[in-house]
Amino acid sequence: MRMVTSLSVAVLAAAGIGHAVVTGFDADIDRIDPFKDMKNRPAQGDGMNVLLVGTDGRERISRAERAKYHLGGPPCRCTDTMMIVHISQDRKRASVVSLPRDSYAETPAHTDRTTGERHRPHALKLNAAYAEGGPQLTVRTVENMTRVKIDHYLEIDFTSFIRTVDELGGVRICTVRPLKDSYTRLNLPAGTHDLNGGQALQYVRSRNIDGAADLSRMQRQQRFLAALVERATSSGVLLNPMKFRDVTQAVLGSVRADKGFGPDKLVDLGWAMRNFSPSSSEFATVPIGRMGFPVKGIGSTLKWDAKKSERIFRALREDKPLAPHQAPSKAVRVDVAPQQIRVQVENGTATPGLGRRVDDALSATGFNTTGAPKNARDRSVERTLITYDPGWDRSAKSLAAALPGSRSRAVKGQGPTLKVIAGADFKRVTKVRAEDARRGQAGVVTGDEAACP
Protein backbone atom coordinates (compact mmCIF):
# COMPACT_ATOMS: atom_id res chain seq x y z
CA MET A 1 0.00 0.00 0.00
CA ARG A 2 2.82 2.40 0.88
CA MET A 3 4.49 1.60 -2.46
CA VAL A 4 1.30 2.25 -4.43
CA THR A 5 0.62 5.47 -2.53
CA SER A 6 4.15 6.73 -3.10
CA LEU A 7 3.92 5.93 -6.80
CA SER A 8 0.58 7.76 -7.09
CA VAL A 9 2.01 10.84 -5.41
CA ALA A 10 5.02 10.75 -7.72
CA VAL A 11 2.82 10.51 -10.81
CA LEU A 12 0.63 13.40 -9.68
CA ALA A 13 3.66 15.48 -8.80
CA ALA A 14 5.27 14.85 -12.18
CA ALA A 15 2.05 15.79 -13.97
CA GLY A 16 1.76 18.94 -11.87
CA ILE A 17 5.35 19.94 -12.60
CA GLY A 18 4.80 19.22 -16.28
CA HIS A 19 1.78 21.51 -16.32
CA ALA A 20 3.58 24.23 -14.39
CA VAL A 21 6.60 24.35 -16.69
CA VAL A 22 4.54 24.74 -19.89
CA THR A 23 1.69 26.94 -18.67
CA GLY A 24 3.86 30.04 -18.90
CA PHE A 25 4.44 29.46 -22.62
CA ASP A 26 0.77 29.80 -23.56
CA ALA A 27 1.07 33.54 -24.02
CA ASP A 28 3.99 33.09 -26.46
CA ILE A 29 1.96 31.10 -28.99
CA ASP A 30 0.66 33.01 -32.01
CA ARG A 31 -3.02 32.09 -31.79
CA ILE A 32 -5.25 31.78 -34.85
CA ASP A 33 -8.78 30.53 -35.46
CA PRO A 34 -8.67 28.21 -38.46
CA PHE A 35 -12.16 26.87 -37.66
CA LYS A 36 -14.01 30.21 -37.64
CA ASP A 37 -17.54 30.05 -39.11
CA MET A 38 -16.93 26.57 -40.51
CA LYS A 39 -20.10 24.63 -41.29
CA ASN A 40 -21.00 21.16 -42.57
CA ARG A 41 -17.85 19.67 -41.15
CA PRO A 42 -17.11 15.91 -41.03
CA ALA A 43 -18.36 13.92 -38.05
CA GLN A 44 -16.16 13.78 -34.98
CA GLY A 45 -14.32 10.49 -34.62
CA ASP A 46 -12.31 8.96 -31.81
CA GLY A 47 -8.76 10.09 -31.24
CA MET A 48 -7.28 13.45 -32.18
CA ASN A 49 -6.40 14.79 -35.64
CA VAL A 50 -3.81 17.55 -35.97
CA LEU A 51 -3.15 19.24 -39.30
CA LEU A 52 0.60 19.89 -39.22
CA VAL A 53 1.74 22.53 -41.69
CA GLY A 54 5.35 23.48 -42.41
CA THR A 55 5.95 27.12 -43.40
CA ASP A 56 8.93 29.34 -44.16
CA GLY A 57 9.74 32.00 -41.54
CA ARG A 58 13.40 32.26 -42.60
CA GLU A 59 13.39 35.99 -41.76
CA ARG A 60 13.74 35.02 -38.08
CA ILE A 61 16.93 33.06 -38.75
CA SER A 62 20.25 34.86 -38.52
CA ARG A 63 22.03 35.81 -41.74
CA ALA A 64 24.94 33.53 -40.79
CA GLU A 65 22.67 30.51 -40.34
CA ARG A 66 20.80 31.27 -43.58
CA ALA A 67 24.11 31.25 -45.40
CA LYS A 68 25.39 28.14 -43.60
CA TYR A 69 22.29 26.07 -44.33
CA HIS A 70 21.59 27.65 -47.74
CA LEU A 71 18.27 29.27 -46.89
CA GLY A 72 18.78 32.02 -49.42
CA GLY A 73 16.05 33.91 -51.18
CA PRO A 74 13.25 36.07 -49.82
CA PRO A 75 10.90 34.65 -47.18
CA CYS A 76 7.37 33.68 -48.14
CA ARG A 77 4.14 32.97 -46.34
CA CYS A 78 3.83 29.64 -48.04
CA THR A 79 3.64 25.99 -47.15
CA ASP A 80 5.48 23.04 -48.67
CA THR A 81 4.70 20.40 -46.08
CA MET A 82 1.31 19.20 -44.91
CA MET A 83 0.52 16.17 -42.75
CA ILE A 84 -2.43 14.81 -40.81
CA VAL A 85 -1.19 13.48 -37.47
CA HIS A 86 -3.68 11.19 -35.77
CA ILE A 87 -3.23 10.32 -32.09
CA SER A 88 -5.35 7.30 -31.16
CA GLN A 89 -7.99 7.54 -28.46
CA ASP A 90 -5.97 5.24 -26.17
CA ARG A 91 -2.86 7.38 -26.81
CA LYS A 92 -0.87 4.32 -27.85
CA ARG A 93 -0.47 5.02 -31.57
CA ALA A 94 0.41 7.95 -33.82
CA SER A 95 -0.52 7.75 -37.51
CA VAL A 96 1.01 10.28 -39.90
CA VAL A 97 -0.33 10.78 -43.44
CA SER A 98 1.60 13.09 -45.78
CA LEU A 99 -0.44 15.15 -48.25
CA PRO A 100 1.61 16.04 -51.38
CA ARG A 101 1.78 19.79 -51.91
CA ASP A 102 1.04 19.41 -55.64
CA SER A 103 -2.09 17.34 -55.05
CA TYR A 104 -5.05 18.19 -57.26
CA ALA A 105 -7.59 19.87 -54.97
CA GLU A 106 -10.96 21.55 -55.24
CA THR A 107 -11.37 24.41 -52.81
CA PRO A 108 -14.72 25.56 -51.42
CA ALA A 109 -15.93 29.14 -52.00
CA HIS A 110 -13.76 31.64 -50.15
CA THR A 111 -12.34 35.15 -50.02
CA ASP A 112 -8.74 35.65 -51.13
CA ARG A 113 -6.84 36.88 -48.08
CA THR A 114 -4.52 39.06 -50.20
CA THR A 115 -6.82 40.62 -52.79
CA GLY A 116 -10.13 40.39 -50.95
CA GLU A 117 -11.66 38.90 -54.08
CA ARG A 118 -14.49 36.41 -53.60
CA HIS A 119 -13.75 33.07 -55.25
CA ARG A 120 -16.19 30.38 -56.29
CA PRO A 121 -15.18 26.73 -55.74
CA HIS A 122 -12.34 25.96 -58.12
CA ALA A 123 -9.44 23.62 -58.76
CA LEU A 124 -5.92 24.32 -57.54
CA LYS A 125 -2.84 22.65 -56.11
CA LEU A 126 -3.25 21.83 -52.44
CA ASN A 127 -0.50 24.17 -51.24
CA ALA A 128 -2.20 27.07 -53.05
CA ALA A 129 -5.09 26.87 -50.57
CA TYR A 130 -2.82 28.39 -47.93
CA ALA A 131 -1.68 31.18 -50.25
CA GLU A 132 -5.26 32.11 -51.14
CA GLY A 133 -7.06 31.67 -47.84
CA GLY A 134 -4.55 30.91 -45.11
CA PRO A 135 -5.08 28.30 -42.38
CA GLN A 136 -8.88 28.42 -42.57
CA LEU A 137 -9.10 27.62 -46.28
CA THR A 138 -6.36 25.00 -45.83
CA VAL A 139 -8.38 23.20 -43.14
CA ARG A 140 -11.61 23.45 -45.15
CA THR A 141 -9.93 22.07 -48.27
CA VAL A 142 -8.29 19.17 -46.42
CA GLU A 143 -11.55 18.25 -44.67
CA ASN A 144 -13.43 18.34 -47.99
CA MET A 145 -10.87 16.07 -49.62
CA THR A 146 -10.48 13.56 -46.78
CA ARG A 147 -13.74 13.77 -44.78
CA VAL A 148 -11.49 13.67 -41.70
CA LYS A 149 -12.40 16.25 -39.05
CA ILE A 150 -9.37 18.32 -38.04
CA ASP A 151 -9.33 18.93 -34.28
CA HIS A 152 -6.22 21.09 -34.05
CA TYR A 153 -4.00 23.12 -36.34
CA LEU A 154 -0.25 23.53 -35.82
CA GLU A 155 1.96 25.60 -38.09
CA ILE A 156 5.73 25.20 -37.64
CA ASP A 157 8.38 27.32 -39.35
CA PHE A 158 12.13 26.92 -39.92
CA THR A 159 13.04 28.54 -36.61
CA SER A 160 10.99 26.27 -34.34
CA PHE A 161 12.14 23.26 -36.36
CA ILE A 162 15.84 24.01 -35.88
CA ARG A 163 15.48 24.83 -32.18
CA THR A 164 13.46 21.71 -31.43
CA VAL A 165 16.01 19.38 -33.04
CA ASP A 166 18.88 21.11 -31.25
CA GLU A 167 17.11 20.90 -27.87
CA LEU A 168 16.71 17.15 -28.39
CA GLY A 169 20.43 16.84 -29.07
CA GLY A 170 20.00 16.14 -32.78
CA VAL A 171 18.54 13.19 -34.67
CA ARG A 172 20.11 10.13 -36.26
CA ILE A 173 19.38 9.51 -39.94
CA CYS A 174 20.36 6.55 -42.11
CA THR A 175 20.56 6.49 -45.89
CA VAL A 176 21.36 3.59 -48.20
CA ARG A 177 22.81 5.85 -50.90
CA PRO A 178 24.45 9.27 -51.11
CA LEU A 179 22.04 12.22 -50.97
CA LYS A 180 23.03 15.39 -52.80
CA ASP A 181 20.89 18.43 -53.54
CA SER A 182 22.40 21.39 -55.38
CA TYR A 183 19.70 23.74 -54.07
CA THR A 184 19.84 23.02 -50.32
CA ARG A 185 23.48 21.83 -50.57
CA LEU A 186 22.62 18.65 -48.71
CA ASN A 187 25.55 16.26 -49.09
CA LEU A 188 25.26 13.02 -47.12
CA PRO A 189 27.23 9.91 -48.07
CA ALA A 190 25.59 6.54 -47.57
CA GLY A 191 25.54 5.54 -43.93
CA THR A 192 24.45 6.87 -40.54
CA HIS A 193 24.51 10.56 -39.66
CA ASP A 194 23.77 12.61 -36.53
CA LEU A 195 22.18 15.84 -37.73
CA ASN A 196 21.76 19.08 -35.81
CA GLY A 197 18.79 21.36 -36.38
CA GLY A 198 20.15 23.18 -39.42
CA GLN A 199 21.37 19.99 -41.09
CA ALA A 200 18.02 18.29 -40.38
CA LEU A 201 16.26 21.21 -42.07
CA GLN A 202 18.40 20.68 -45.18
CA TYR A 203 17.47 16.98 -45.08
CA VAL A 204 13.69 17.51 -44.93
CA ARG A 205 13.69 20.38 -47.44
CA SER A 206 15.65 18.66 -50.21
CA ARG A 207 13.55 17.78 -53.25
CA ASN A 208 16.15 17.82 -56.05
CA ILE A 209 17.90 14.56 -55.21
CA ASP A 210 16.17 12.36 -57.77
CA GLY A 211 13.31 12.33 -60.25
CA ALA A 212 10.79 11.57 -57.51
CA ALA A 213 11.11 15.17 -56.24
CA ASP A 214 8.45 15.93 -53.64
CA LEU A 215 7.36 12.32 -53.16
CA SER A 216 10.81 11.17 -52.10
CA ARG A 217 11.12 14.27 -49.93
CA MET A 218 7.96 13.24 -48.05
CA GLN A 219 9.47 9.84 -47.37
CA ARG A 220 12.55 11.52 -45.95
CA GLN A 221 10.30 13.70 -43.81
CA GLN A 222 8.61 10.56 -42.51
CA ARG A 223 11.97 9.00 -41.70
CA PHE A 224 12.90 12.19 -39.90
CA LEU A 225 9.72 12.09 -37.80
CA ALA A 226 10.42 8.45 -36.93
CA ALA A 227 13.91 9.46 -35.82
CA LEU A 228 12.45 12.37 -33.84
CA VAL A 229 10.03 10.07 -31.99
CA GLU A 230 12.86 7.65 -31.26
CA ARG A 231 15.04 10.47 -29.94
CA ALA A 232 12.31 11.98 -27.77
CA THR A 233 11.25 8.66 -26.24
CA SER A 234 14.72 7.21 -25.70
CA SER A 235 16.51 10.29 -24.36
CA GLY A 236 14.43 10.76 -21.22
CA VAL A 237 13.06 14.13 -22.37
CA LEU A 238 9.48 13.18 -21.55
CA LEU A 239 10.41 12.10 -18.02
CA ASN A 240 12.47 15.18 -17.21
CA PRO A 241 10.23 18.20 -16.49
CA MET A 242 13.01 20.73 -17.05
CA LYS A 243 14.11 19.18 -20.35
CA PHE A 244 10.49 18.85 -21.39
CA ARG A 245 10.13 22.56 -20.67
CA ASP A 246 13.10 23.45 -22.87
CA VAL A 247 11.86 21.34 -25.78
CA THR A 248 8.34 22.70 -25.41
CA GLN A 249 9.65 26.24 -25.38
CA ALA A 250 11.61 25.56 -28.57
CA VAL A 251 8.51 24.16 -30.28
CA LEU A 252 6.12 26.87 -29.13
CA GLY A 253 8.48 29.80 -29.52
CA SER A 254 7.63 30.33 -33.18
CA VAL A 255 4.47 28.41 -34.05
CA ARG A 256 0.91 29.29 -34.89
CA ALA A 257 -1.82 27.15 -33.38
CA ASP A 258 -5.55 27.13 -32.70
CA LYS A 259 -6.77 28.31 -29.31
CA GLY A 260 -7.53 24.77 -28.11
CA PHE A 261 -3.97 23.57 -28.58
CA GLY A 262 -2.60 24.73 -25.23
CA PRO A 263 -0.55 23.56 -22.23
CA ASP A 264 -3.13 20.99 -21.07
CA LYS A 265 -3.05 19.31 -24.47
CA LEU A 266 0.75 19.33 -24.55
CA VAL A 267 1.01 17.75 -21.11
CA ASP A 268 -1.55 15.14 -22.14
CA LEU A 269 0.43 14.25 -25.25
CA GLY A 270 3.78 14.32 -23.48
CA TRP A 271 2.47 12.05 -20.73
CA ALA A 272 0.98 9.63 -23.26
CA MET A 273 4.19 9.48 -25.30
CA ARG A 274 6.25 8.30 -22.33
CA ASN A 275 5.51 4.73 -23.37
CA PHE A 276 5.90 5.36 -27.09
CA SER A 277 8.50 3.50 -29.09
CA PRO A 278 9.35 3.83 -32.78
CA SER A 279 6.89 1.00 -33.52
CA SER A 280 4.10 3.08 -31.94
CA SER A 281 4.13 5.39 -34.96
CA GLU A 282 3.15 4.62 -38.54
CA PHE A 283 3.61 6.65 -41.70
CA ALA A 284 2.00 6.79 -45.12
CA THR A 285 1.74 9.07 -48.13
CA VAL A 286 -1.60 9.52 -49.88
CA PRO A 287 -1.56 6.99 -52.76
CA ILE A 288 -1.26 8.65 -56.16
CA GLY A 289 -3.43 7.38 -58.98
CA ARG A 290 -2.06 9.60 -61.72
CA MET A 291 1.22 11.46 -61.89
CA GLY A 292 1.39 14.64 -63.96
CA PHE A 293 -2.38 15.17 -64.09
CA PRO A 294 -2.75 18.32 -66.25
CA VAL A 295 -5.13 21.09 -65.17
CA LYS A 296 -5.70 24.16 -67.35
CA GLY A 297 -4.31 27.27 -65.73
CA ILE A 298 -2.61 25.29 -62.96
CA GLY A 299 -0.20 22.91 -64.63
CA SER A 300 0.85 19.42 -63.65
CA THR A 301 -0.75 18.01 -60.49
CA LEU A 302 -0.93 14.73 -58.59
CA LYS A 303 -4.30 12.98 -58.72
CA TRP A 304 -5.04 10.82 -55.69
CA ASP A 305 -6.06 7.19 -56.10
CA ALA A 306 -9.66 7.44 -54.87
CA LYS A 307 -10.07 3.88 -53.55
CA LYS A 308 -6.68 3.53 -51.88
CA SER A 309 -6.84 7.02 -50.39
CA GLU A 310 -10.28 6.36 -48.96
CA ARG A 311 -8.96 3.28 -47.13
CA ILE A 312 -6.33 5.44 -45.41
CA PHE A 313 -8.73 8.22 -44.46
CA ARG A 314 -11.36 5.74 -43.26
CA ALA A 315 -8.77 4.30 -40.89
CA LEU A 316 -8.18 7.78 -39.46
CA ARG A 317 -11.91 8.42 -39.09
CA GLU A 318 -12.42 5.08 -37.36
CA ASP A 319 -9.31 5.37 -35.17
CA LYS A 320 -7.75 2.24 -36.65
CA PRO A 321 -4.17 1.48 -37.74
CA LEU A 322 -3.36 2.42 -41.32
CA ALA A 323 -2.37 -1.18 -42.03
CA PRO A 324 -2.97 -4.49 -40.22
CA HIS A 325 -0.43 -5.14 -37.52
CA GLN A 326 2.52 -7.22 -38.62
CA ALA A 327 5.91 -8.03 -37.23
CA PRO A 328 8.59 -5.47 -38.12
CA SER A 329 10.24 -6.24 -41.42
CA LYS A 330 13.73 -7.71 -41.24
CA ALA A 331 14.37 -6.75 -44.85
CA VAL A 332 17.54 -4.89 -45.78
CA ARG A 333 16.83 -1.44 -47.26
CA VAL A 334 18.22 -0.98 -50.77
CA ASP A 335 18.23 1.78 -53.34
CA VAL A 336 16.46 -0.03 -56.20
CA ALA A 337 13.33 -2.10 -55.57
CA PRO A 338 13.76 -5.80 -56.42
CA GLN A 339 10.63 -5.65 -58.62
CA GLN A 340 12.56 -3.39 -61.02
CA ILE A 341 15.50 -5.78 -61.39
CA ARG A 342 15.49 -8.43 -64.12
CA VAL A 343 17.57 -11.49 -63.21
CA GLN A 344 18.74 -14.57 -65.11
CA VAL A 345 19.91 -17.39 -62.83
CA GLU A 346 22.49 -19.99 -63.83
CA ASN A 347 23.58 -23.05 -61.87
CA GLY A 348 27.36 -22.91 -61.48
CA THR A 349 27.58 -26.24 -59.65
CA ALA A 350 26.95 -29.91 -60.31
CA THR A 351 24.13 -29.90 -57.72
CA PRO A 352 20.85 -30.71 -59.50
CA GLY A 353 18.06 -28.20 -59.00
CA LEU A 354 20.21 -25.45 -57.44
CA GLY A 355 19.40 -23.01 -60.25
CA ARG A 356 15.66 -23.53 -59.74
CA ARG A 357 16.01 -23.11 -55.98
CA VAL A 358 17.87 -19.80 -56.37
CA ASP A 359 15.42 -18.55 -58.99
CA ASP A 360 12.42 -19.36 -56.77
CA ALA A 361 14.03 -17.74 -53.73
CA LEU A 362 14.83 -14.53 -55.62
CA SER A 363 11.36 -14.45 -57.14
CA ALA A 364 9.76 -14.91 -53.71
CA THR A 365 11.76 -11.92 -52.47
CA GLY A 366 10.37 -9.79 -55.29
CA PHE A 367 13.04 -9.94 -57.98
CA ASN A 368 11.84 -10.13 -61.57
CA THR A 369 13.50 -13.40 -62.52
CA THR A 370 13.18 -15.02 -65.93
CA GLY A 371 11.73 -18.14 -64.33
CA ALA A 372 13.95 -20.26 -66.59
CA PRO A 373 17.27 -21.00 -64.86
CA LYS A 374 20.11 -22.36 -66.97
CA ASN A 375 23.29 -24.33 -66.41
CA ALA A 376 26.45 -22.24 -66.47
CA ARG A 377 29.40 -23.17 -68.64
CA ASP A 378 31.56 -23.49 -65.55
CA ARG A 379 29.95 -26.03 -63.16
CA SER A 380 32.65 -25.67 -60.48
CA VAL A 381 31.82 -22.20 -59.12
CA GLU A 382 32.55 -21.99 -55.40
CA ARG A 383 31.37 -18.44 -54.68
CA THR A 384 28.15 -17.03 -56.14
CA LEU A 385 28.86 -14.47 -58.85
CA ILE A 386 26.72 -11.53 -60.02
CA THR A 387 27.52 -10.03 -63.41
CA TYR A 388 26.00 -6.76 -64.58
CA ASP A 389 26.31 -4.00 -67.12
CA PRO A 390 28.00 -0.90 -65.60
CA GLY A 391 24.88 1.11 -66.41
CA TRP A 392 22.93 -0.99 -63.92
CA ASP A 393 25.36 -0.78 -61.01
CA ARG A 394 22.68 0.41 -58.53
CA SER A 395 20.55 -2.63 -59.36
CA ALA A 396 23.61 -4.84 -58.89
CA LYS A 397 24.10 -3.45 -55.38
CA SER A 398 20.49 -4.28 -54.48
CA LEU A 399 20.90 -7.80 -55.82
CA ALA A 400 24.19 -8.24 -53.95
CA ALA A 401 22.45 -7.24 -50.71
CA ALA A 402 20.04 -10.12 -51.27
CA LEU A 403 22.94 -12.54 -51.80
CA PRO A 404 25.35 -11.84 -48.90
CA GLY A 405 28.83 -13.19 -49.52
CA SER A 406 28.49 -13.09 -53.29
CA ARG A 407 30.95 -11.30 -55.54
CA SER A 408 30.11 -8.92 -58.40
CA ARG A 409 31.72 -8.22 -61.76
CA ALA A 410 30.88 -5.56 -64.33
CA VAL A 411 30.47 -6.83 -67.89
CA LYS A 412 30.22 -4.05 -70.44
CA GLY A 413 27.42 -4.60 -72.95
CA GLN A 414 25.52 -7.18 -70.89
CA GLY A 415 22.39 -5.06 -70.95
CA PRO A 416 19.61 -4.57 -68.37
CA THR A 417 19.34 -8.20 -67.29
CA LEU A 418 21.59 -9.10 -64.37
CA LYS A 419 23.03 -12.60 -64.12
CA VAL A 420 23.44 -14.71 -61.00
CA ILE A 421 25.76 -17.71 -61.28
CA ALA A 422 24.93 -19.72 -58.17
CA GLY A 423 27.96 -21.19 -56.44
CA ALA A 424 28.48 -23.92 -53.89
CA ASP A 425 28.37 -21.33 -51.11
CA PHE A 426 24.69 -20.44 -51.73
CA LYS A 427 22.53 -20.81 -48.63
CA ARG A 428 19.62 -18.40 -48.80
CA VAL A 429 18.30 -15.13 -50.19
CA THR A 430 18.04 -12.18 -47.80
CA LYS A 431 14.89 -10.09 -48.03
CA VAL A 432 15.40 -6.57 -49.34
CA ARG A 433 13.00 -3.69 -49.83
CA ALA A 434 12.98 -0.21 -51.26
CA GLU A 435 10.38 2.56 -51.05
CA ASP A 436 9.72 3.51 -54.66
CA ALA A 437 8.64 7.14 -54.39
CA ARG A 438 8.28 7.59 -58.14
CA ARG A 439 5.08 5.54 -58.16
CA GLY A 440 3.60 7.42 -55.22
CA GLN A 441 2.91 4.14 -53.46
CA ALA A 442 4.98 4.57 -50.34
CA GLY A 443 2.69 2.21 -48.46
CA VAL A 444 2.57 2.16 -44.68
CA VAL A 445 5.73 1.81 -42.62
CA THR A 446 6.12 1.85 -38.87
CA GLY A 447 8.62 4.03 -37.07
CA ASP A 448 10.98 1.16 -36.36
CA GLU A 449 11.10 0.37 -40.10
CA ALA A 450 11.65 4.00 -41.09
CA ALA A 451 14.26 4.81 -38.48
CA CYS A 452 17.85 3.56 -38.31
CA PRO A 453 18.23 -0.14 -37.48
Nearest to 76 by CA among 142, 35, 116, 127: 127
Nearest to 114 by CA among 97, 133, 129, 88: 133
Residue 353 vs residues 196, 350, 359, 374, 375: alpha-carbon distances, Å: 53, 9, 10, 10, 10
Strand runs (DSSP E) across 104-190, as ranges? 104-107, 110-111, 118-119, 122-125, 152-156, 171-175, 179-180, 187-188
pLDDT in tens, 34-52: 998 888 899 998 999 999 8
pLDDT in tens, 187-206: 888 888 999 888 888 888 88
The better pLDDT of the pair 21, 99 is held by: 99
Phi and psi at residue 300, to the nearest 5°: -85, 130
pLDDT the model gives residue 60: 63
- Domains of the chain as residue ranges with CATH: 21-329+439-450 (3.40.630.190), 336-433 (3.30.70)
pLDDT the model gives residue 436: 44
pLDDT in tens, 297-343: 888 888 998 988 999 999 999 999 987 655 555 678 887 778 778 99
pLDDT the model gives residue 6: 44
The lowest-confidence range among 191-205, 237-251, 283-297 is: 237-251
Mean residue pLDDT of the chain comes to 80
Q: Averaging pLDDT over each range in 44-58, 341-355, 421-435, which range is the top one?
A: 341-355
pLDDT the model gives residue 93: 87
pLDDT the model gives residue 308: 85
Alpha-carbon gap, residue 295 to 301, rounded angstroms: 7
pLDDT band at 226 (very low <50, low <70, confident <90, very high): confident
The better pLDDT of the pair 50, 72 is held by: 50
The better pLDDT of the pair 358, 165 is held by: 358
Which H/E stretch holds residue 105?
strand 104-107
| pLDDT tops 70 at residue 104 | yes
| pLDDT tops 90 at residue 141 | yes
pLDDT band at 366 (very low <50, low <70, confident <90, very high): confident
| pLDDT tops 80 at residue 115 | no
Phi and psi at residue 80, to the nearest 5°: -115, -15
